[in-house]
Amino acid sequence: MMDENNLTHREQEGREVVSWYVPPEKGEEVVRYYVQPRPLPESVRPRAEAAPVKKKKKGRTIFAILAAVLAVIIGVTALLVNLLGSDDTGADDNHAGSIVDISSDDGCHIPAADPAPEVRLNLVAPGEQALTAVDVFQKMSPSTVTVLATDATGKNFMGTGVLLTADGYFLTNAHVVSGTTSCIMALDTGDTYEAKLVGYDAGQDIAVLKAVDAEGLTPAEFCDSDYCMVGETVYAIGNPLNLSLRGTFTSGILSGLERQMEMDGKTLTMLQTNAAVNNGNSGGPLINAYGQVIGIVTMKMSQSGTGAEATVEGLGFALPTSQVSYVVNDILATGEYAGVPTFGFTIMTEYDESGESYVSIHSVEEGLPAQAAGVQPGDILVAADDCAIHNNWDLMDYRRQLRVGDTVDLTLLRNGEEIHCQVTLTATK
């Protein structure tokens, strides 16, 4: 454990990349990316202890009961993220500082920690009973950490993180630690630890670190974001602007699912929320009403201009846990992200005359594992290994237990005859 006073003996500086929206003049939206510095204060203050909470299981989203095509082949594409760090403190509030290339990777030079294949980020269903806002904060505050990373010049940069294990594994955004050489993780109690890097992926903007000699910490509970529904209550905890506002708790609703944002040829797939997320929330949790993490806060959109033009508010975005789990588990296993395991087909949930659901193969992609294994459109998918498949969610849930290179025994029905196909999963990034 490191002395908290170490934090006060350094020059501290925050950084931020924001999606800066300029009102269109000729019918087109313009998005620019900026980085903005701000000095950080010198104190780390304690927070309250957590209260126990009960779990809930609620129904799937409406998409689970529709006979719609689910593209299993399509995993997570490389993310071009808009990053949160610290706030703009320029003299002109309507203009930011220097433009940066956010698609670049400055590397991360924090001392390495060995991978931990025995550790996994497991996703669960929503809890059994919604909590009060007070209870959500008390549950999640001990699991939300402050990340202070230092570059080679001695400047510090701040973000937020979420605890994975009691012995100090935690995750944050890759941009929080990109270009830095050392890192400190601070708990809500004010206790601080040196942190080492297990691995990161700049494209997915996820990093996993390990607090040295940590024990007895409170890991967060992670909910499968595929359960999420637009309109449900969500919360965020983070470090907006500076350490004096550390542990700020905000609330809102889930405003959108699977938001696709095409920028510089890359696609972001994110949850959208109107919960206030500000500079310094990067890497922190987006939380459901059961005190479970459903996303990692990564970006926001801000507005350039004043008066009637300054209308962009409440546009925050988080990486969904359904995507994050693949990245984190690969990094924990090998130190690197291999990509989302891909079967190479799309599926459709359908219903027989009695109302029972079943899964049919909708299409098979050329050149990918399913085609090589002999899977054909129109096949009925009965099971993957020993896991029975009744709807698209069953296959998605099972796929999260797999890694690139695993071979899966698919049980299929073709013209009433049971057949088996051995599919070796490949990667989609």
Average pLDDT estimate for 42-61: 38
CA distance 205 to 16: 14
Closest Cα partner for 249 from 324, 143, 147, 175? 143
Per-residue confidence at 95, pLDDT binned at 50, 70, 90?
Answer: very low
Q: pLDDT band at residue 154, thresholds of 50, 70 and 90?
A: confident
Overall size of the chain counted in residues: 429
Pull the structure tokens for residue 115.
Answer: 């991978």
On whether the CB atoms of residues 58 and 124 are closer than 8 A, the answer is: no
Going by pLDDT thresholds of 50, 70 and 90, the confidence category of residue 106 is: low
> How far lies 211's CA from each of 52, 184, 196, 303, in Å?
24, 8, 6, 37
Q: Which domains does the chain have, with CATH numbers?
A: 4-334 (2.40.10.120), 340-428 (2.30.42.10)
Q: Phi/psi at 324 (nearest 5 deg)?
A: -60, -35
pLDDT at 205: 87
- Look at residue 93 in the predicted model and tell me its pLDDT: 29
What pLDDT, in 10s, does the model give residues 160-177? 999 999 999 999 999 899
Q: Which of 170, 177, 160 is nearest to 245 (CA)?
A: 160
Cα 301 to Cα 307: distance, rounded to the nearest angstrom: 17
Q: Distance (Å, rounded) from C-alpha 326 to C-alpha 120?
A: 10
Q: Which residues contact 92 (CB under 8 A, 6 or more apart)?
A: none
Both tokens of 42, joined, read: 């010198």
At residue 413, what are phi and psi to the nearest 5 degrees?
-110, 125
Report the range out of 13-17, 124-128, 135-139 with the highest average pLDDT.
135-139
Q: Which residues are known to be catalytic?
A: 175, 205, 282
Percent of the chain with pLDDT over 70: 70
Give tens-digit pLDDT for 368-383.
Answer: 889 999 999 999 999 9
Phi, psi of 408 (to 5 degrees): -115, 130
Could you give phi then psi for residue 391, rounded to 5 degrees?
Answer: -155, 175
pLDDT band at 338 (very low <50, low <70, confident <90, very high): confident
Tell me the mean pLDDT in the region 189-209: 92
**Chain position carrying tokens 């996994």:** 120
Greater confidence (302 vs 113) lies with 113
| pLDDT in the model for residue 342 | 84
Please give the share of the chain, as a percent, with pLDDT higher than 90. Answer: 45
* 388-424 pLDDT per residue, tens: 999 887 887 788 778 788 899 999 999 999 999 999 9
Q: What is the mean pLDDT of residues 262-266?
A: 45
The residues pairing with 249 across neighbouring beta strands, listed in sequence order, are 237
E strands, 274-403, in order: 285-287, 293-303, 316-320, 340-342, 345-351, 357-364, 380-384, 387-388
Give the per-residue pLDDT at 303: 63
